Chain A
Amino acid sequence: MTLRDLINKLLGRETASANTARERLQLVLAHDRVDMSSLSTDLLDKMRKEILDVVAKYVEIDFDEVAVSLETEDRMTALVANLPIKRTLSGEIQFKNIEKKNKSK
């Protein structure tokens, strides 16, 4: 709290508007940014299929547990793929999970 805030409080004045502006902006941008990435659901489906095709060439994937999604944090949107592997095609179980993060641009 600043000296000004204290005086404002004592006098029963409104708080400074920059705080309100910041909060409103953060809310509205959270919405705007989600809108942008949800535009590409079709693209995401297509990409999911192609990724699975490639990975399935090398290892056996547990298709029921596959999850591919976009996650946004700050300005960065990441493609997060969780592909549980049942076994490699040579037969041995080597990994349980591969988490693959690709920064999408």
Chain B
Amino acid sequence: MAKTSRTILICSGKGGVGKTTLTANLGIALANSGASTAVLDADFGLRNLDLLLGLENRIIYTAQDVLDNNCRLDQALVRHKQEPNLALLPAGDPRMLDWMKPDDMKKISNLLSEKFEYVLIDCPAGVEDGFKNALAASKEAIVVTNPELSAVRDADRVVGILNTCDIHPIQLVVNRVRPTMMANQEMLSIDDVTSILSLPLLGIVLEDEQVIISTNRGEPLTLSGKKSPASKCYLNVSKRLKGEDVPVIDPNKENTSLKDKFIKLMQTKIF
């Protein structure tokens, strides 16, 4: 039985900004730090959290079967082999999208919160039914966005809805940050994004091709212990989520090459 449990929605509005990747990496990182963690794939139309975690061949039952009393919860939970503190619960069969209602979602996440310290809900894109289902069970939220117009605009819609739903805190993760573009002022800065959305910044994640490579392998970056720019960021986010007093990774400090130093020089205010 978990002492205190946190149920956290991971959402964005726009698709493809990095929700599922964050859920997988955060799940592994939290589990690795000793916290029992469940990740719930609420994006059952386009489920792929199982793929990112390399668990796609081990799914037998889903949340749907638990609710229908076809199996017990622990039969539906897929434990991660290398990281046994982490379990995945797939929501349901992608061909049966309509069955789940907000109440079902509440039942499932209540069951999970009895067993796990962290329950991360990977939310579908959009602001329609799928999102509202996922939201029904959540107490707090992480909004994921990219430093791009459309992603920030959609995040703002989502924040507007979350604000009416008694969800607190709502924290921001800015993903796919490119320090050089930011330094060149060809990309919205972190300050721009946080101040426009008026959300506290939980962390940033750098653009990193290792993310794609690790997805190919079904081994989240935080699992391998290999130090890539993004894996450092995901670890930082997990620590801050746990309440550890570590500063957000500063994209400027990630610029260390000579070229980057030159770019910084060009940022000097002259008047």
Contact = CB atoms under 8 A, between A and B. Distances in A.
B224 interface: no
Nearest to B270: A3
Contact of B149 (A4, A7, A24, A32): A24
B160 A18 contact: no
Interface string A65-95: 0000000001100000000000000000000
A25 B185 contact: no
A29 B196 contact: yes
Contacts of A75: 159, 163, 197-198
Interface size classification for chain A: 20 to 34
A98 interface: no
A98 B185 CA distance: 48
B265 interface: yes
Interface in A15-36: 16-19, 21-22, 24-26, 28-29, 32-33, 36
A19 B187 CA distance: 9
Chain B interface bracket (under 10, 10 to 19, 20 to 34, 35 or more) = 20 to 34
B153 interface: yes
Contact of A18 (B185, B198, B267): B185
Contacts of B153: 25, 28-29, 32
A25 B266 contact: no
Contacts of B188: 18, 21-22, 25
A16 B266 CA distance: 13
Interface of B: 148-149, 152-153, 156-157, 159-160, 163-164, 166, 182, 184-189, 192, 196-198, 265-271
Interface of A: 1-4, 6-7, 16-19, 21-22, 24-26, 28-29, 32-33, 36, 74-75, 105
